Structure 1
């Protein structure tokens, strides 16, 4: 039998034609490519040794070939059914992902980096620093892990976990394509959230993906944004919004703006009016997120009355707005709470 040819990267993330080419390089018939594809994406094989339709002798030669699956290092279930996972990667690094079930959907909040370099003041992930980008297979694996653990098909994906996706754009986009093409999740059910990296939103628009772009704004003026998001010092609010307008023109897709409400900091009526003035004239939607507490800072969540006043000010100015109360709060799985925690040891 022909010796197994080395593969430079795990097989997860590869398309059917790519897997077919690979099995043929191993001296196997082309139809084994479809078998491999089905076992990876439909049956959830963790290793090639599990693929019982392959000849036993060939399977024994594939021990060093990685599919690219992680292991569940820790699992916490919140009272609302949200599940937070700490996943251990091949190099021992830990990432977090979250499964958010409702009656009609199962959403996975995926990470794109180990840690995050953006250091947003109200977010736990940024407090731990940045280690590395995730590879394509490490992003796709998160979705398959949640789908298998819930024994239920994932319907929606949000790139709102650890990391800044547009600093890992190549792998994030490759993962989106794989999740759509191979896992069967519609691009319109996928949301990519970014703080905003100069020039990257326009580059994303060139790909003509049908995903939802969510921009983490969190402030209604430049000075306040710099206070909350250190990277904003190198990227003005005006420039960011200009890219967002260009994105809408290029894709025909509206932009969602994420805005974490911090009591007494960015939630005053004057902030709402200022925000509305910035967002006039192009298709967008504002998601208000009442602050979810972390230990490192003492921000407070606004009262229901403060939140409603902010909503009213936006609606009076014809800005589409909704309030998103995060799931998984009691398991530290809510928006802004993800980190590589002490539980990884």
Structure 2
């Protein structure tokens, strides 16, 4: 059987793998656990090396299955320790995954789609347009590639401790594959991460936030970026369909179903756009409203993200003093607020800079280039 016709075991979570062994191979379900340990704990892809499996079982697996992580096209370290991988998804497309080391933790930023269809105005990924959703194997394969690399690095601080679905794409538009991949991340036979150490970031698909709360216990982050509907609709066009009040109500419902959880609201700081004192005061009111409805302090947290520039953008990063003043206004209002340190911008691996290689089906690349060309002519004239 050709490899393309075989089952990629990275596509299956524990339940799916148990069913595969029982129904397709006629084997005991516990064999799935053995194979998961080889794949995710020891980073072994060759069935011949799985020494605690019998010869007959290994032959069955060779005939029916493969373990095929995505190929690494580019492996690029940053001066600050950040690491970016460009991973091939097929002959035409590639995506990016980024590892960010910090004191006591190492976070991997994982993509869920080839490109993104939401067209958020301040995000480099949006300029690439959209091609398709990633499979479960392509999502968990990013974690596998990073974990294997980090396992070979003799520095304790480079251990993978957290995963954020915050790379290319909108995770909730690829719901089933993302949820399955997050299950493997949290499975003891997979990567064994605690629920709170896996975070899904969404631009605000309200019905899917509700659905996520029913099937998963991961942490939730919301790309807010503005405290009122007019500005947010300009920056995040999805807001026209799911305005702020509806989005925050969905966040309240999510928090009510998860008694110990908090929700992080991401807020990219753009000079003169959303960084004024009145924006901070309006944002504080929104956050306090969530805490009041959930009846739990610090349910809503704010993560201020300095804008990371990319070619052709019309936005600029807020000045450091303005970011700190904005943070102080929120803190003084009782809102837990952090400022994200920019990492990996020397290799275009910072938040909002991920691009990859996208065979755009939406014509957005062409439209962005056209607008950039017109803007450059306007500035010259």
TM-score between both structures, scaled by the size of structure 2 = 0.82
In the TM superposition, residue 13 of structure 1 has moved relative to its aligned partner by 4.5
1:79-136 C-alpha deviation (Å, 9 max, x unpaired)? 1010110011255521110111224222110011111111111101111111111111
Structure 2: tracts of 5 or more residues without a match:
152-157, 292-298, 359-381
Structure 1 residue 333 displacement after superposition: 0.3
Q: Which runs of 4+ in 1 moved over 2 A?
A: 6-9, 13-38, 45-61, 63-66, 89-93
Tell me by how many angstroms 1:316 deviates: 1.9
C-alpha separation between the residues in 1 aligned to 2:338 and 2:19? 47
Counterpart Cα distance in 1 of 2:29 and 2:171: 35
Counterparts in 2 of 1:222 and 1:9: CA distance versus 1, 3 Å = farther
1:49, 1:60 within 8 Å by CA — same for their partners in 2? no
Instruction: Tell me how far apart the structure 2 counterparts of residues 87 and 51 of structure 1 sit (CA, whole Å).
Output: 26
Match of 2:285 among 272, 277, 291: 277
> Alpha-carbon deviation of 1:341?
4.5
1:112 touches 1:133 (CA, 8 Å); kept in 2?
Answer: yes
Deviation (angstroms), 1:63: 5.7
Of 133, 155, 161, the residue aligned with 2:161 is 155
1:203 to 189, 197, 211: 211
How many residues are paired up?
Answer: 338
Higher helix content, 1 or 2: 2
Mapped pair 1:183 → 2:182: no
Aligned twin of 1:262: 270
Compute the TM-score of the two structures, normalised by the length of structure 1: 0.90
The whole-number CA distance in structure 2 between the counterparts of 1:61 and 1:136 is 19
Tell me what 2:249 maps to.
242
Report the Cα distance in structure 2 between the residues aligned to 1:124 and 1:31, rounded to whole angstroms: 44
The CA distance in 2 between the partners of 1:162 and 1:17, in whole Å, is 27
Alignment of 1:225 onto 2:232: yes
Shift of 1:199: 1.4
CA–CA separation in structure 2 for the residues paired with 1:210 and 1:61: 33
Give the superposition deviation at 1:38. Answer: 2.2
Which residue does the alignment assign to 2:141?
141
Per the TM alignment, residue 33 of structure 1 is displaced from its structure 2 partner at its CA by 3.9
- The residue correspondences of 1:9-24 to structure 2 (distance < 5 A) are 9-16=7-14, 18-23=16-21
Q: Secondary structure of 2:177's partner?
A: helix
The 5 A counterparts of 1:28-67 are 32-51=31-50, 55=55, 58-59=58-59, 62=62, 65-67=65-67
Change (3 A) 1:196 1:9: farther
- How far off its partner does 1:34 sit? 4.2
Query: Is 1:102 aligned with 2:110?
Result: no
